[in-house]
């Protein structure tokens, strides 16, 4: 494989040592750019809509992002160590064919975030170019598709620009908020309410945890000897600082703007920037383009992994890359064009829904990697339907399903509120329950499995 190809040549296959490159520090820019997006700003606005004051939103935002970001960033170390995309690693836990279930769920995440990003990115394109929002969404989809086709190296390069631009613009908006005459009234409204505060923490944690299926995709080209602390640390710092900055901005802008912000989030933010409105729109486009590209790129690799599972291939030919990415973009665009109305309410439902289903997967994946197999995998076996990881792993499915089901009494969403959450006044702790139960059960099943321990001894003997 040529290291100098303009378009990335690898797909879901293993990255050999001679093609490894880069520094873990680049992950700071990738995850800061992905998190300082207009979608994160809208998520911050939800803290106020759910009943928190702008002031009390800040600790909820920070606590939630730290809690979720801690678990999410742990996935980042898997990239350099294994050299394969994030979701294909699920074959080691769920089995070669069993991994199709989490892959389908991950694909829903990628499509959902991609579609919501096209709505908000489309608004920014529309305001900047003075076209309709539908045309803006189409243009934005084409931009996201192009960057995803060029791939890993170009995604990292673009994120450096996006991170710097978003960081400067968002900080500038904060300074303007500090000089707003209405800020005093916002700060005076500082009443604390426990249930919305806990729900806000869960919302921020949900934002971070739903990045789990993305993480190792953007560290898998790093040299295998990249320090684990550096990979995890730069990912954590970029994700937590970026998301906390954007969400806090969203909470304060929502408190200041009220219905005017809720009616047109992108337009209000640009107007708030005054004469720098076009620069604000460019920052919105750059930040959201990073996130959308990650979703397009991740969606492509999820589909590729599902297809190769069914056809028993080990990779996708480079010439098919554009087709896969194009299909993912077309589906996301169709969803975006249909879901423009009542976007904010739909997005709330979407985030909470993802939290319930992805937290158990993350727990199973991390427990397997750090505690059960202790970072030792037979990477070749991940591509072998008859390999040591088997076709289906019942223990992983039981742990995962139990982790999902046990959350039901604790759930709180517009679609359903469980009896325990209702008793707690609407507080949301389901994700914590799912994380602990799924991880604990998987560890119990895996460590009692003679097959798993035998496989680990075999892998260790070959090292």
CA dihedral 365, 371, 376, 381 (to 10 degrees): -40
The pLDDT-based confidence of 1 (bands split at 50, 70, 90) is very low
- Using alpha carbons only, what angle is made at residue 352 by residues 209 and 147, rounded to the nearest 5 degrees? 55
Asked whether residue 452 carries a pLDDT value surpassing 70, the answer given is no
pLDDT band of 447, cuts 50, 70, 90: confident
Are the CB atoms for 154 and 321 separated by under 8 Å? no
What percentage of the chain carries pLDDT values higher than 90? Answer: 69
Query: CA-to-CA distance for 124 and 128, rounded, in angstroms?
Result: 6
In this structure, are residues 36 and 239 in contact, taking their beta carbons and an 8 Å threshold?
Answer: no
Structural domains in the chain plus CATH codes: 17-349 (1.10.4160.10)
| Bigger pLDDT: 150 vs 262 | 150
Residue (of 316, 105, 307) closest to 213 by Cα position = 105
Number of helical H runs and strand E runs in the chain: 20, 0
Task: Enter the tokens of residue 253.
Answer: 């802008």
* CB-CB neighbours of 186 under 10 Å: 19
CB atoms inside a 10 Å sphere around CB 340: 15
Give the sign of the dihedral formed by CA 93, CA 386, CA 213, CA 133. Answer: negative
pLDDT of residue 2: 43
As a whole number, the mean pLDDT across the chain is: 90
pTM of the model: 0.92
Mind listing the pLDDT tens digit for each residue in 59-88?
999 999 999 999 999 999 999 999 999 999
Cα–Cα separations (whole angstroms), residue 83 to 151, 364, 443: 16, 20, 24
Q: Which of 71, 86, 24 lies closest to 227 in space, CA to CA?
A: 24
Place of tokens 């678990």: 71
Nearest to 142 by CA among 279, 30, 289, 280: 289
Section 343-352 average pLDDT: 66
Between 6 and 249, the more confident residue is: 249
- Asked whether the predicted pLDDT for residue 41 surpasses 50, the reply is yes
DSSP, residue by residue, 134-174: HHHHHHHHHHHHHHHHH-HHHHHHHHHHHHHHHHHHHHHHH
| 122, two tokens | 């489309």
Tracing tokens 């727990």 back to the chain, one arrives at: 363
Query: Dihedral sign, CA of 161, 162, 167, 170?
Result: positive
**Tokens (6 digits) for 48:** 């106020």
pLDDT of 350 reads 73
DSSP 368: I
């Amino acid at each position: 494989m040529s290291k100098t190809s303009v378009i990335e040549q690898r797909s879901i296959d293993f990255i050999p040592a001679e093609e490894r490159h880069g520094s873990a520090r680049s992950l700071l820019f990738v995850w800061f750019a992905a998190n300082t997006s207009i979608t994160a700003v809208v998520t911050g606005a939800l803290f106020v809509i759910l009943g928190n004051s702008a002031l009390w939103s800040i600790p909820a935002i920070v606590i939630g992002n730290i809690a979720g970001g801690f678990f999410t960033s742990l996935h980042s170390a898997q990239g350099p160590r294994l050299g394969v995309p994030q979701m294909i690693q699920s074959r080691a836990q769920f089995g070669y064919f069993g991994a199709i279930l989490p892959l389908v769920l991950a694909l829903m995440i990628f499509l959902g975030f991609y579609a919501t990003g096209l709505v908000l990115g489309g608004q920014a394109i529309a305001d900047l170019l003075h076209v309709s929002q539908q045309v803006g969404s189409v243009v934005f989809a084409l931009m996201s598709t192009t960057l995803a086709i060029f791939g890993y190296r170009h995604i990292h390069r673009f994120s450096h620009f996006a991170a710097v631009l978003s960081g400067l613009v968002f900080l500038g908006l904060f300074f303007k908020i500090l000089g707003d005459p209405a800020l005093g009234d916002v700060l005076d409204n500082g009443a604390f309410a426990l249930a919305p505060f806990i729900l806000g923490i869960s919302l921020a944690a949900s934002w971070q945890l739903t990045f789990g299926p993305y993480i190792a995709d953007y560290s898998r080209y790093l040299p295998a000897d990249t320090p684990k602390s550096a990979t995890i640390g730069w990912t954590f710092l970029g994700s937590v600082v970026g998301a906390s900055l954007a969400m806090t901005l969203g909470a304060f802008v929502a408190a200041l703007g009220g219905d005017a912000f809720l009616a047109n989030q992108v337009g209000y933010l640009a107007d708030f920037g005054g004469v720098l409105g076009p620069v604000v729109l460019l920052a919105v486009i750059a930040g959201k383009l990073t996130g959308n590209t990650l979703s397009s790129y991740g969606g492509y690799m999820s589909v590729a992994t599902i297809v190769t599972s069914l056809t028993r291939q080990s990779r996708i030919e480079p010439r098919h890359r554009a087709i896969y990415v194009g299909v993912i973009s077309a589906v996301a665009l169709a969803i975006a064009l249909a879901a423009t109305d009542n976007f904010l309410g739909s997005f709330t439902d979407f985030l909470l829904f993802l939290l319930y289903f992805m937290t158990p997967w993350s727990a199973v994946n991390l427990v397997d990697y750090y505690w059960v197999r202790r970072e030792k995998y037979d990477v070749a076996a991940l591509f072998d339907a008859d390999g040591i990881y088997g076709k289906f792993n019942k223990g992983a499915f039981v742990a995962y399903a139990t982790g999902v089901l046990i959350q039901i009494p604790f759930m709180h969403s517009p679609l359903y509120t469980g009896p325990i959450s209702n008793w707690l006044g609407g507080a949301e702790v389901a994700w914590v329950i799912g994380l602990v139960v799924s991880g604990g059960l998987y560890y119990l099943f895996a460590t009692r499995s003679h097959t798993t321990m035998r496989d680990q001894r075999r892998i260790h003997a070959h090292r």
